[in-house]
Homo-oligomer: A and B are copies of this chain.
Amino acid sequence: MLKHVALYGLLGGVLIAVLRWVEYRWLIVDHSMSLYGGVIALIFAALGLWLGARRARQYEDDRVAPDSPKLLAGLAQTDVSAPPDGSDGVAARAAPNAPFPANDLGITPRELEMLALIAAGLSNKEIAARAFVSENTVKTHLSRVFDKLGAKRRTQAVQRAKQLRLIA
């Protein structure tokens, strides 16, 4: 996590440098600023998106603050890292969409996540897109979870997972 911040800062620095260079190179061009802003915006947006996804899945058991996620608030949350200490406490919340209940099958959070996604009717490709991983990875996770559940098909896995209350 810390490494990411560092990397992030570094990238920012590099970018700034590049921009300085661009500044001299394109000073004559009228719309350089716009172009410029666009490029930075794009790059950092992508980066932010990536980081956001990463962060989101790091403590996905995080309470789902139903408030209005403010920009700076979200940013601030990046720094504060909630120590998940592995204990439960989540089990108490019997809400219909309680994300990750405990299980004794050794199903990892990531696997459970994919399970929930197939239950929602998504294809492997869609899951991959949503979880920011490759389709191959999705298939791997699903293979494992099928094995753990003793399921041969995704529909069967969903059925069993629901039966075991692993998913809503």
- Taking Cβ atoms with an 8 Å cutoff, the residues of A that contact B are 8, 12, 15-16, 19-20, 23, 33-34, 36-38, 40-57, 59-62, 64, 69, 71-72, 74-75, 78, 97, 99, 113, 116-123, 130, 151-160, 168
Contacts and interface: CB of A to CB of B under 8 A. Distances in A.
Nearest to A24: B33
B54 A53 contact: no
A78 B64 CA distance: 31
B156 A121 contact: yes
A8 B45 CA distance: 10
Given A44-B40, A155-B154, A33 B59 contact: no
B44 A130 contact: no
Contact of A12 (B41, B64, B113): B41
A98 to B, nearest CB: 9
A16 B44 contact: no
B57 A64 contact: yes
A133 to B, nearest CB: 12
B72 A46 contact: yes
